[in-house]
Each structure stands twice: as structure tokens, then as C-alpha cells.
Structure 1
């Protein structure tokens, strides 16, 4: 029953046309290959390479935004006004090539702004001390200054205005001295690390130049990363390909083998049921003949017994006894001996061994691929080794070493020469810093005197009701203001000298160097032939081509070009020539493109097995009239229910008066039961058995030819398409493998190009070094330097109104003395306080 259900489960598969059947199976076979993904992993995973050259990179310095940026911008704007002339190309060329021939008038004309500032400084330097000296002499002879002689209401507005102007001027000076303090300290903080960073930049640049050959070698050695990955993939490629072929085709192959197993099972089951049917029919016919004779005897005996007039109530049993006849005639069912004769000896083929061999052959594909690909895998490994050897031509032919040597010598010379200058610069910066601190302290002292003088004077004015307190505090405020004035006159000339000296140096550095460094005018000046004397010719010192331009080289370096491009060595060395993927993978791809495997053809159904299936198909088992079998099986074995008749006879025997009739009825009932138990039940069991075989065969019959044909077509198509599909899957997997492995090489070559152009043999460190030098000199040192003299200069020039307002305000803080006697003397006598001698200048 289980086999029958399995067989029925494989039916329902009919094809109206062999062509449609073939097309359907072709689609089934092709779909897995078309829809498959590369099992060998394409695209290639991302490789991780070592960070070659990380220690040789020059960190780029940048201008760090700060609180003094607005002051720096103000100074830049002021210097733009002072120096409005363009870059002095002709003056510098004459000065560098023939210093005695330099035109002094042109130099003065170019420095017109600085000369004007120098003139102002000289006037300040002479006028302010002279003014102070004149004022001192004037006060000594009592011809100027003094005190207010009489109080007038109009003096209130004048006094308040003077106090406000003095306060405002003092606040401006205070702001300037604070900025000067900050800028002075900023210069000191930046100079030492700036010089250290400049030396470090030179050292790292030199190390970078020396390290180029070693760096190129290290980058080439990183080929071990893709090499190891490719070798690892090669170790697994054959097994992976075999497994993929097996995985993609096993569904169709196993389906065909299952169908074949089902047809073989149908054949075996059909033979079994045909034999059972034939034997059962023969047994039924034999039993039928014996039953027919027994029923005939019982019918005659019962009829005569029940027709006896002495038999009471026997009329009903008589009608049943007259129906004791056969209900089914199994001689009428069709014979299946002809079909059995056709199928005799089947199956002749050993289907179990055939299916076992097919399974073994199909399941051996991964191992077979491993064996057949062993030689090509070894050849591919050798090709990868050759690719690594080809890469050694990059460091062997790299042309940078011959050109880096003079550069390295120049950098060593620059480093050695710059060290003493940097030391001197730090020493002189210490002097400048001390002078700045002293100057700022003096200005701060003047500001302090002004603030205290204003405070005491204002407090004295508030206490005017108390003459004694008013005179003490007012006089103290006046004296403090005058002390501030004295300091202003005494130190103003030193202050203006410091301001002009730092201004002249810092301003020219900004306008002549920093400004034109930033806009690359200096590079253009160097590029113009004849601007530099032979002793300063950079290309000759570095052994470079005369056609090399510093401006274009700087831009190329900044954009990340390689040294060989900037040094114009493309004719001797083209990096693209060495970094072509095909140069290292052509043979690898060629070997895989020419490679092919022929797997053993799988045989699911041999000729003997096909003949067995065809014999089974043509056995006409479906032409048997199974309806006739069913018709006879629906008829009862005996028309009358023998068991019921026997029970009826036993009941009748109990109501009979005649003992002879009673005994005869009892005997007939016993014989009927015997017939029922020995004949009828046996035939009924045979009918049940017959029904099972008829049901199976009748169900199998209508579609079994189509099933056999479909199975044969499916198996034939798989056997025909198997080598085609294996080659197709093999080709597709090899293509995936090639793309993956070439992708590893391509990743490496792209990384190699990036590292050579950006790290190892990059020109960018040179542009970074130049930019760092500009940032160190201009942004970190020159800007706070210029902010210092600008802030100090503001303080110096605002000291002039401070002196004026302080002298004018002093008279208003001193007590007013009313005269008693009109004399030429300035002495006055108060009515209520003793005379106090005031400070006179």
C-alpha cells in the first residue's frame, strides 16, 4: 500500500506533446545555471595593506583661529596702506645679481610708505622729548601752568570734558598695552616651537628623500597580501567548483533518479498485482465450482424439505432456499495471462545497481574536480610567483634615487646652516621680549598714574565742602597725573625706537615675504631666468632640469603628483607602464580561459533498463477491462444470505411437531453454516484480495505510459545536457574566480599607485614643507610680532593726547586760592586754611 501511494504520488504528470516536454525540461535544467550567483566570491573582498611610510609623512601646519585674529587683520590692512607697491622684481634682481648697482632712488621709492612712517617716528622721537623739556623750563620760570585763579561756572564743562577725554584716552592706551602684552608673549611662545618645527620639517623631508628607495621596496613587498589570498583561493577553487556543479545539478539529477525509482517500483508493483489477480481469479473459479455443486445439493434438499405439508411456517424459508445460487461468475472476468506473459522475467536490468552507480558517479564530481584541476592549480600558483618577480622591476627601475641625493645634500646643508641662525633668533627674541615687557610696563605705569590721578582728583572734587580733605586729595591727583606725564616724556623716545625697529622688520616681512609667498609671486620670481645669480640657482644645485618651474612644481606637489612627474622623468619612467593589471594577470587569465574539464558522463538508464521500461509501457496493462472485474466483485458470492437462512432453519426446527422434520431442518442449517464458513468466506476473502489488485492496476493504467515516456525523456535530457551544463557552470565559476583574483591584483596595484604618489615617492611633502614654513614664519611669528608693534605704536601715539589732557586736567584738581592783595605774585592766601605750596614744573 505504501509503494502504491508513492507511485500514485509521482503521477499526474502528463505532457500533451514531446516537444513541450523537452522545452519544459530544458527550462528546468537551464534555470539554475542562469540564476546562480558566483560561489567563488565576486567581487573581491577588500584587502588590508600595511601603512607604509606613515612615519615619513610631514604633518601640515595650519593657522589656528584665535582671539587676536581681528587685530591681525587690522594690522594687515594697515600694512596694505603703507606698502601698496607690487612685488619688486627688478629691484630684487639687481640687488641679488649686482648689489652695488642697485638703484637707491628706486628702493626709496618702493619703500615710500615706510619712509613716511620713519619720518613720523623721527618727528615723534625729537618733538616729544623737546616738548617735555620746554614745558619743564616753562614751569620752572612760572610762565605756564599753575592753578585756576578764580572759579567760574564755565570751567565745570571744561573740566568734565577734559576728564572724560583723559579717561577715554587712558582706556585706549590700556587696551593697546593689553594687546601688546599678549602679542609680545605670543611671539615668545611661538618662536622656539616655530624654529623647532622648521628644523623638524627639514629633517622629516630629508628622511623622506632618503627613505624613498626603501619605501618603494616595502610597497612592492606588500604584494604578499594579495598573493597569500590568491594562493588560499587556489587551494580551495577545485573543490568549490566541483561542489557548485554538484549543488546546481543535484536537484534535476536526483529528481530524475526519483522518477526512475518510481517507475521501477510501478513495474514491480504491477507484476505483483497482476500475478495476484491471475492467481486469485483462478482460485475463485475453483472455489466457485465447488460452491456451485454444494449449493445445488442444498437447494434440492431444502426445497423438498420445506415443501413437505407437515412443515409448519416453512413458506418464507422456501423462497430463500430457492435462491441458493451463485451471485458472481468469475469465469466472465477477462484474462491477464497475456500481459503476464509479456512482462515475464522483468525486470531484466539491475536497476538498484544502475541507480547506485549513477549516484556514485554524480556524487564524485567534487573529488573528480580536485584531481583534474590539480595541474592547472599548480601552474596558476607558479604564475602568481612570476607576477611577484615582475613587480621587482618597479624598485629596480625606479629613477628617483639619483635625483634625491643632491636634494638630500641640499637639505642637510640648509639644516646645518639654519641652526645657528635659529639660535641667534632665539637669543635676540629674548632681548626683544624683555624690551617689550619693559615698554609695556612703563605704559602700564603711566595708565596706572592716570587712573589714580583721575580717581583722587575726582574724589577731591566731591569733598570740596571739606577744604582740608579737598586740598590733600586734589593735590595728590594732580601730582599723580604729572608723574604720568613725566614718565611719558622720559620714555616716549625709547618707546618710538622700539616700535619703529620692530615695525620696519615685521612690516617688510609681511609685505615683502609673507604676502608674496602666499600668492606665489616669490615662486614666479625664482622661475624667471636671470632673477637669481648662479650661486642661488636652485635647479643647478639640486641637479634638476632647467625646464623645471618652481611654481608649476609646487602646484603639482600640492595636487599629489609623484616625484618622477615633478622632476620630469616621465620619458625614463612611466608608472602606468608598471601598474597595468594585464601585465601581471594575462597568463593567469589565459590558463584559466583555456582550461576545461570533462567529467564522466552520468548514466541513469542503460539500454537494458530502457527496454524493460518500454516492455512495461507496451504490455497493454492499461487495456485490461477492469470494469468487468469491478462488476463481478460488486455481485455477492451467493444470492441468498446463507447465514441468515441457516438461522431461519434453526428457528423453524424449534416450532415443528414432527421430530423427523426437526432433525432434518437442524441438519440442513448445520450444512449451510459449514458452506458459509468453508466456501463463502474463503471466496469473499479472495474477492477482497482481488479488489486490491484491481484498484491498483486500474489506477496505474490510464497514465502509466505517459509517466514512463516522461521519465525516459527527463532522464535522456539530463544525460544529454549534463556535460553541457557542467562545462557551462565550470566556465562561469572560472570567470568568477578570475574576476575575484584579478580584483585582488587590481586592488594592490591601485594601492601601490596611491602609496607611491601620496606617501613613498610623493612630492607633496615638499609643498607641505613650504606651506609649513609660511605658516610658521607668517601666521605664527610675523602676525603676533606685527600685532605687538602695532599695539605699542597705538599706545605711543595716544600718549600725546594723554599728556595734553593730563596737564590740562591738573589745574582743575588743585585748590583755588582767592587773592587778598593784588600783586604780581601768584601766591594767594585763603581766609580759613594755611598756605600749601603746590608742585611746580
Structure 2
């Protein structure tokens, strides 16, 4: 009747060990997407994978609004496109770089350079001609005027068209001066734009370096983040292995619970009902014993009284006593009126069931199944130790990821940028002082041009205000003469400074124009980066070999990839130097893991819940409990209740009153009193005791009915549970073990997806690099070169219009100046 009579052992099958092997074998590869693992109860909740925090780059912001230097961009670029329509001469530049020491000796190469620069040479020739002729013309003009020629004679011939010619010269001079003023305004604006750009350059460069340094610092942190997340997986799997007993054992218990626990609950209920039945039987036996004692005493009393009454009635001296002989028959029926039920068989059956001690059997089963986690822990202790040692080996392999990625190159770049930033900070004061001098010089140049404009406008204003058209030329007012003098001053200043300014225009034109055509324009259309891709252009600079790549990578391709904010994995073709699949593949450990778990035996026995002997006893108990249903003493209670000895006592009293014999009379009265006392005992003792017995029997019958159902339920559920355990114990253990293995495998599979996705698509998104290059292009080309080109273009514009301004001013001045000789036109 034991509950643990038979024991069977099971062994983990190859499939379970293989699955667990695969789970640990991919240990590097699993954590952050763990929320996508199919829900399994054996999987403890793992820490949610923290997504990679990508570095967000923001370009430097101007601290103040930069004056618009692009207002002349269209004009300047159109002019430069006309001067230099040819594309970037890649072949020519390569020849110059490769033969830099023999450039002058190579006539063909010099010829190619001159042909390419023919547009600039033509413009330079025009500028040189301007520089040479302007002072010569001014010198000869001054000499001629001093000799009284070339308008130097203070005489003006009067004619009918003189006023028309004066007005024509006036408006021509005004328009020319206005054009020069517009160019002068452009000079001021471009000079101020260049100053603001230079002032903000150091701050912008410093911010750009900071962002690049932050990006370069973030890349190792992102790689370490990926590695650290794999450590979390190792720690999680290690914890699962250390708690394999509680986790796996609890799941095995849970599979048995739905079938086993209802059976145990039924056994507990049967045990409770059996104890209640025993208590009820004890109570009934006590009541029956008391009733039996009372009945026996009653029957003895009735017999004694009946015998005395019979003797008295049989006395010859008793008169009329024959009539009461029939009453004696009622006393005879009283002796057999009460029958006590026999419950010995039921009591025996109850005692047998109690001896079984069902509660101890239930406790034994509970203790056995509560020990399953500890059994799993004990039987897998060697496997856990071996697996944990293997996890340490895999953890060491994970750390190689940081070593294989060329992070040292990034550190070298960081050191270079830090040094460059220090140099910029060091030379910033010198740059600011130099820029202040440059700005002051350019402002002075602008003011000189403005002086010519002011002289012209003063002449254009004072001349007409002081002029009387019909007045004699020798009698013109001082105001008109002053206006003519201002016009001559403007022409003199133009002659004096224009050729010097043209030298500056020529130098800035050759510098800024070539920078635009050779650097900025190719930079904008991508030709410059393609040129830099040419092998050998920059001696000692080979991006691919410096990173340890087998193939060469182009700077232009790197820039395009960074423009799209692609990761370093694809941008730098790191797959050529890092075999990520091989690095993350730990399948070489699978054979070891397989041998570990092939040697693991977890002993788990099946259980005999109720032995056949116990089932037979329960069946006998159920059968005998049915006999209680046939016990019914209610009729006996009714029979006893129908007995009324007081009637017989009354008749004895009546008969006693008729007796003349006092002895007989006294005997009849005593017998009547005894009958009344017996009737009182029946009413106060026997009937209540019989009712109490009847109540106990009713309670026992209720328990018996319940026991019949409970025994049937116990036998049914215990049979189902026993069949389930006998059939499914081994399979349950194997299935739950497989789930545990799959759970660990799930961690690694998800981490594999996350790690590969993160490393190949998210680590080191190089958008900040492209933004830094774009910032450099904006700073050099759109701010510095564009402002510089706008300045020389504006200055050259003014110098060109100085020529018509000189001619028109000199001619117009004679119409306002006071003449020495008069001429009259009628």
C-alpha cells in the first residue's frame, strides 16, 4: 500500500542535449531581442536589451548673423566660368605632383599649364596693361594740361549745343559714379563678411573638432556596449544553469499538478470523511450503549412488575381481577419492542481505512514531488560546472571583438585632432590680429574709392547749383567752379590710386579665381574627391592598407557613405579584416557540451499513489457503508411512543378501589405506581435516547452516502493520475528539459540578430565626418573664397569704371569751372 513502491530512471535524450548544446554554443549571440522569444514558463525574465545610443551630430552654430556674401556669387561665378570653362585637369595635376621638381624644365608640361590657364593669363594681361597705362596716361595728361593742352587752356567755345552736351556729360558721369558707388558698397559688404567669417572660424573649427572627437570616442563605446551586452547574456545563462533545479523542477511539477493535485485533494477529502465517519460511529456506539443499558433496565423492571401483577390478579381474594388479565399482554409486547442495530462490520471497515493513514500517504507524495528541484540540481551539478567553465572560455572569445576592430586608428586620429585644436587655439590671437590689419587695410581701400565717388558727387551737386547757363564762362560762380574742381580731384585720385588697386585686384583674382576653379568648383561637383582617390596623389596616404584592408577604398565612396550616415562596417569594408561570423561562432564547443550532457543522468521515479490492497479496502469500506442506509429505528420509536402504561395503571387503581382486601388493594396500588414510574422512564429516558440514536444514524447515513461518492471519485482520479504518471513521466521530464534548453538557445539567437544588426548597421554611423567635410567646404569656399572673390570683383568693377569716370569728369569739369577767356555765341 506504499505510495513509492516502484522507481524508474530516465535519461536525457540526444535531442535535448543537442538543443542545449546549440543554446550554449551560440552564447555570444543572444540577449537584447529576448522579448521576441516565444513565451516559455521556464525562461526567467531577462533584462531588456538597451538599444545602442547613437551619437547625434550638430554642426557649429554661428554666434551672430553672418553678413550676406553671396549677393555677387552669381556674377563672380559666371565670370570665372567664362574665364575658366575647362573642368578639373586631373591628368595635369597628377603630372605636376609626380614631377614637381622638374616642372620648369619640362616645357610640354609648362605649355599644358599655360594653355589651361589661358583665360586667367588674358585677364592678367589686361590687368597688367591697365597697371602700366593708367599712370602713364595720367602723367602725360598732367603734363599736357600744365602746358595748356588737352583742355588745359581755360577757354570754352560757346555753341548752340553746349547745354545739350553738358547735360549728356552730366548724366553719363552720374550713372558712372553710381555704378562705382554700387561696387564700393559691395566692397564694404564683402570685406565685412570676410571679417565675420574669419572671426568665427576658430570657434567653428573648435566645435567641429569637438564633434568629431565625440564621434571618435563614441565608436569604441558602442563596440564595448555590444560586448557588454553579450556579458549580460553569459551572466543570465549562468544564473539559469545555477538555478536549473528550481526552474526545471518547478516546470516538471507544474505539468503533474493538473492531474495529480485533484487526485490528492480527493484522497484528502476521503481521509477527512473517514475520520468524520469514525467520530460519528463512536458517538453512535456511545448512544447505543446508553440505550442498551436503559432498555435492559426497563425490561427488567417491566418483567418484575408484570410478575407481581400476575400474582396479585391470580389471588382468589382479588375480586374482579380476571378482567385485567388482557392488560398483561401489553406488558409482554414491551419486552420485545426495542432492537439495537449491529454496526461492527462498518466499524471494522472504518478502522481498516484509518489504519491506512491516507494523510501520511498524501504527505509522502507531496514531499516526493517537492524534492524534484533538488534532485534535478544534484543530478546536473557536474554538467553545470563544466558548462560554466565553457562559458568562461566563450567570454574570453567575446572580448576579442574589441581587439579585432581597428580602434587604435581612431585613437590616433583623435590625438591628431586634439593637437590640431591646441594649435588653432594657440594661433587664434595671431589670426585675429592679422585679420584686424587686413580688415583695416581693406576699409582704407574702400574709403579711397569712396573718396573718388564723393568727389564726383560733390562736383555733380555743386556744379549745377552754382551754374547759370547764360552767364559768361569767365564769370561763373565760385560754387560752380568748386564743383568743377571736385570733378578734377576725383579724376586725379582715380589716376593716382587705380593702378595700385589694380595690382591688388590682379593678385586676388589669380589667387581667389584659381582656388574657386581648382578647389571649390571641383569640391562641389565631386571631382576633387575623385581626384584624391587617385593612387599616389598624396604620398604615403593609402586608406585601405592603413586600416589593414585587402582592397583599396576611395575617399569619395567614404564621403558618400558618410553623407548617408552609414555605419563604419560598410563604409570602411571592415568585413575584409573581421570575419564577424567566425568571431561570433562558438560551435567548436558543441562537441564538449554534448559530451557533458550525454553523461548526465537525472533520476526521477514514478509513483504508486494507491496500492491494490488499499483500493480493495476502500471498495469494502464503500460497500459496508451502504448497510447504514438500511438502519431505521423510527418505527421502533413510534412503537415505544405508542405504549401507554398509565392506562393500565389507571385500571389497576380502579380495580384497587373495588377490593375489600386491603392487602390486595395496596398491592394493586403499588403496582399501579410502579407502572407509572416505568412509563415516566420511557418518556424521559428511553424515547430521548432512541431519538438521539436515530439522529446519529441519520448523520452516519449522510456520511455513508458521501463516502460512496468520494471513494468512487478517489478511485477514478487516482487511476487517471496513476496512468498519467506511468505513461508521461519520462516524456514530461524530457519535454520540459527541452524547453529549458530552447530558452537558453533563444537568448543567444536573439543576441546574434541584435549583435550582427548593431555592428553592421548602427555602430559608428559616420554622418559627423561628412558634416565636418561639408563644414570645411562651407567655411573655405562659401565664406572665405566667396567673400574674397566678391571683394576683388567689386574692386575691379570700380577700377574698370574709373576709366569712363575720369574721361567724363574731366570733360564735365570745364562746363563748371571759371574760364580765363570768354567766348560769346549769338
- After TM superposition, the score normalised by the length of structure 2 is 0.67
Whether the 8 Å CA contact 1:514–1:774 is kept in 2: the answer is yes
CA distance in 1, matches of 2:481, 2:307: 175
Residue 615 of structure 1 corresponds to which residue in structure 2? Answer: 617
Give 1:21-40 correspondences, 5 Å limit. 37-40=40-43
CA distance in 2, matches of 1:552, 1:259: 81
Whether the 8 Å CA contact 1:492–1:796 is kept in 2: the answer is yes
Give 1:532-543 correspondences, 5 Å limit. 536=539
Superposed displacement of residue 60, structure 1:
9.6
Matched, 1:705 2:705: no
Superposed displacement of residue 692, structure 1:
1.6
Deviates more, 1:282-291 or 1:75-84: 282-291
Which residue of the other structure, out of 800, 822, 826, is the alignment partner of 1:825? 822
CA distances 1:55-85 after superposition (whole Å, capped 9, x unpaired): xx9x997898955363374244443333211
CA distance in 1, matches of 2:675, 2:691: 22
Whether the 8 Å CA contact 1:121–1:500 is kept in 2: the answer is yes
- SS of 1:70's equivalent in the other structure is coil
Superposed displacement of residue 261, structure 1:
1.4
CA 379–751 in structure 1, closer or farther in 2 if over 3 Å, else same? farther
CA distance in 2, matches of 1:380, 1:520: 56
CA distance in 1, matches of 2:236, 2:455: 81
CA 182–736 in structure 1, closer or farther in 2 if over 3 Å, else same? same
Q: What is the CA RMSD across the aligned residues, in angstroms? A: 6.6
Which residue of the other structure, out of 356, 363, 374, is the alignment partner of 1:356? 363
Whether the 8 Å CA contact 2:248–2:737 is kept in 1: the answer is yes
Residue 267 of structure 1 corresponds to which residue in structure 2? Answer: 274
Superposed displacement of residue 443, structure 1:
2.8
Residue 46 of structure 1 corresponds to which residue in structure 2? Answer: 49
CA distance in 1, matches of 2:758, 2:424: 37
Give 1:147-166 correspondences, 5 Å limit. 165=175
CA 175–429 in structure 1, closer or farther in 2 if over 3 Å, else same? closer
CA distances 1:115-159 after superposition (whole Å, capped 9, x unpaired): 443354345445655666677655974568989999999899979
Give 1:49-198 correspondences, 5 Å limit. 68=68, 70-71=70-71, 73-74=73-74, 75-96=76-97, 97=99, 99=103, 100-102=106-108, 106-122=112-128, 124-125=130-131, 141-142=151-152, 165=175, 168-169=178-179, 172-186=182-196, 188-189=198-199
Structure 1 residue runs of 5 or longer lacking an equivalent are 1-33, 306-318, 462-469, 829-841
CA distance in 2, matches of 1:538, 1:798: 49
Residue 728 of structure 1 corresponds to which residue in structure 2? Answer: 735
Superposed displacement of residue 697, structure 1:
1.7
Superposed displacement of residue 679, structure 1:
1.9
- SS of 2:356's equivalent in the other structure is coil
- SS of 1:700's equivalent in the other structure is helix
Deviates more, 1:423-432 or 1:477-486: 423-432
CA distance in 2, matches of 1:758, 1:740: 25
- SS of 1:697's equivalent in the other structure is helix
CA distance in 1, matches of 2:46, 2:597: 19
Give 1:4-19 correspondences, 5 Å limit. none
Whether the 8 Å CA contact 2:520–2:777 is kept in 1: the answer is yes
- SS of 1:601's equivalent in the other structure is coil
Give 1:644-655 correspondences, 5 Å limit. none
Residue 785 of structure 1 corresponds to which residue in structure 2? Answer: 788
- SS of 1:346's equivalent in the other structure is helix
Superposed displacement of residue 360, structure 1:
2.5
CA distance in 1, matches of 2:590, 2:520: 54
CA distance in 2, matches of 1:478, 1:499: 30
Superposed displacement of residue 704, structure 1:
3.6
Structure 2 residue runs of 5 or longer lacking an equivalent are 1-36, 314-326, 468-475, 660-664
Residue 443 of structure 1 corresponds to which residue in structure 2? Answer: 449
Superposed displacement of residue 176, structure 1:
0.5
Whether the 8 Å CA contact 1:361–1:602 is kept in 2: the answer is no
Superposed displacement of residue 383, structure 1:
1.0
Whether the 8 Å CA contact 2:462–2:480 is kept in 1: the answer is yes
Which residue of the other structure, out of 478, 496, 499, is the alignment partner of 1:490? 496
Whether the 8 Å CA contact 1:41–1:737 is kept in 2: the answer is no
Superposed displacement of residue 556, structure 1:
8.6
Whether the 8 Å CA contact 1:592–1:734 is kept in 2: the answer is no
Residue 265 of structure 2 corresponds to which residue in structure 1? Answer: 258
CA distances 1:693-733 after superposition (whole Å, capped 9, x unpaired): 12222343356424432234335534654454344223312
Deviates more, 1:436-445 or 1:770-779: 770-779
CA distances 1:753-806 after superposition (whole Å, capped 9, x unpaired): 789x849xx9x9998887776565434533333233234334444555666777
Residue 505 of structure 1 corresponds to which residue in structure 2? Answer: 511
CA 640–827 in structure 1, closer or farther in 2 if over 3 Å, else same? farther
Superposed displacement of residue 323, structure 1:
13
Which residue of the other structure, out of 597, 602, 605, is the alignment partner of 1:601? 605
CA 244–705 in structure 1, closer or farther in 2 if over 3 Å, else same? closer
CA distances 1:322-353 after superposition (whole Å, capped 9, x unpaired): 999989976497x6544445555333334343
Superposed displacement of residue 624, structure 1:
3.0
CA distance in 1, matches of 2:643, 2:81: 135
Residue 25 of structure 1 corresponds to which residue in structure 2? Answer: none
Whether the 8 Å CA contact 2:452–2:493 is kept in 1: the answer is yes
CA 172–769 in structure 1, closer or farther in 2 if over 3 Å, else same? closer
- SS of 1:87's equivalent in the other structure is coil
CA 409–627 in structure 1, closer or farther in 2 if over 3 Å, else same? closer
Residue 20 of structure 2 corresponds to which residue in structure 1? Answer: none
CA distance in 1, matches of 2:479, 2:676: 162
Matched, 1:370 2:377: yes
- SS of 1:581's equivalent in the other structure is coil
CA distances 1:265-308 after superposition (whole Å, capped 9, x unpaired): 23333344456557756765775677689899999999x99xxx
Whether the 8 Å CA contact 1:597–1:727 is kept in 2: the answer is no
CA 353–405 in structure 1, closer or farther in 2 if over 3 Å, else same? closer
CA 184–347 in structure 1, closer or farther in 2 if over 3 Å, else same? closer
Superposed displacement of residue 517, structure 1:
3.7
- After TM superposition, the score normalised by the length of structure 1 is 0.66
Residue 313 of structure 1 corresponds to which residue in structure 2? Answer: none
CA distance in 1, matches of 2:412, 2:706: 100
CA distance in 2, matches of 1:134, 1:633: 166
- SS of 1:605's equivalent in the other structure is coil
Whether the 8 Å CA contact 1:642–1:672 is kept in 2: the answer is yes
Residue 836 of structure 1 corresponds to which residue in structure 2? Answer: none
CA distance in 1, matches of 2:572, 2:154: 79
CA distance in 1, matches of 2:726, 2:550: 75
CA 596–259 in structure 1, closer or farther in 2 if over 3 Å, else same? farther
- SS of 2:354's equivalent in the other structure is coil
Whether the 8 Å CA contact 2:380–2:602 is kept in 1: the answer is no
Give 1:633-644 correspondences, 5 Å limit. 636=638, 638-640=640-642
CA 489–247 in structure 1, closer or farther in 2 if over 3 Å, else same? farther
Superposed displacement of residue 508, structure 1:
1.1
Residue 579 of structure 1 corresponds to which residue in structure 2? Answer: 583
CA 447–37 in structure 1, closer or farther in 2 if over 3 Å, else same? farther
- SS of 2:71's equivalent in the other structure is helix
CA distance in 1, matches of 2:412, 2:340: 120
Superposed displacement of residue 688, structure 1:
2.0
CA 218–694 in structure 1, closer or farther in 2 if over 3 Å, else same? closer
Residue 699 of structure 2 corresponds to which residue in structure 1? Answer: 692
CA distances 1:367-389 after superposition (whole Å, capped 9, x unpaired): 44433333222212211222244
